[in-house]
Amino acid sequence: MINIAIDGPAGAGKSSAAKLAAKELGYIYVDTGALYRAVGVAVLRRGLDTAKKEDVIPVLAEIKIELRFIDGAQRVYLDGEDVSAEIRLPEASMAASNVSAIPAVRAFLFDLQRSIAKNNNCLMDGRDIGTVVLPDAQLKIFLTATPEIRAKRRFLELEQKGTPVDYDALLEEIKQRDYNDSHRAVAPLKPADDAVMLDSGDLTLDEVVKRICCLAAEI
């Protein structure tokens, strides 16, 4: 199977670009952040603290998380319920970042990610795909952009959706998540030694997709 790993910070454009590139290549697109979000939602639903491992770890024994691919689009199921919309709520972002720092949560989701990659040609995006989950991926890409550019993109996206938010608060949240994701002890966000670095700051979405497809054509 061909496996392509795309890692990078929140808002670098990984999911939009990876989704389109996967379509072009005929691979499935796997958004691993959705798995951490689903764990975060399960903990929030129980009224527990996503930052406390004593709260989070017992929840893992009670839940089942699955990914299903419907017409190539990924849906996330928590105990058989489709939570694909709920995991995108703003509170799910910080919840996901919090639970993702807990080693037991990472171990809980590891086999699921590995088995999808073993059985499918896929483009998998996340934070530790090239470094931990798929160290043997045939292609690893680390997609970045400055926090300001990422906050601006997200700001415009939310404004277009009719749910404007404060830019400064957004920038602060992005910086906080960058810090959390890259300073945790286990599987921190960092490029694999053999990753191709791609800065999406000066590129359009189409250009990023083209670069990914060109790199994939060289595999």
- Residues interacting with ligand DC, by CB under 6 A? 10, 32-33, 36-37, 96-97, 100, 126-129, 177, 181
Smallest gap from Cβ 217 to ligand DC, in A, equals 25
Residue with smaller CB distance to ligand DC, 127 or 211: 127
Q: How far apart are CA 130 and CA 124, in angstroms?
A: 9
Contact 4, 123 (CB under 8 A): yes
Residue with smaller CB distance to ligand DC, 140 or 177: 177
Q: Please tell me whether residue 32 adopts helix, strand or coil conformation.
A: coil
Smallest gap from Cβ 87 to ligand DC, in A, equals 8
Smallest gap from Cβ 174 to ligand DC, in A, equals 10
Residue with smaller CB distance to ligand DC, 25 or 96: 96
Residue with smaller CB distance to ligand DC, 18 or 216: 18
Residue with smaller CB distance to ligand DC, 93 or 217: 93
Q: How far is CA 96 from CA 114, 193, 216, in A?
A: 20, 26, 30
Smallest gap from Cβ 160 to ligand DC, in A, equals 19
Q: How far is CA 26 from CA 80, 121, 131, 134, in A?
A: 27, 8, 24, 19
Distant-in-sequence, close-in-space partners of 29: CB < 8 Å, separation ≥ 6 = 15, 18, 19, 22, 23, 72, 74, 122, 123, 124, 125
Smallest gap from Cβ 37 to ligand DC, in A, equals 6
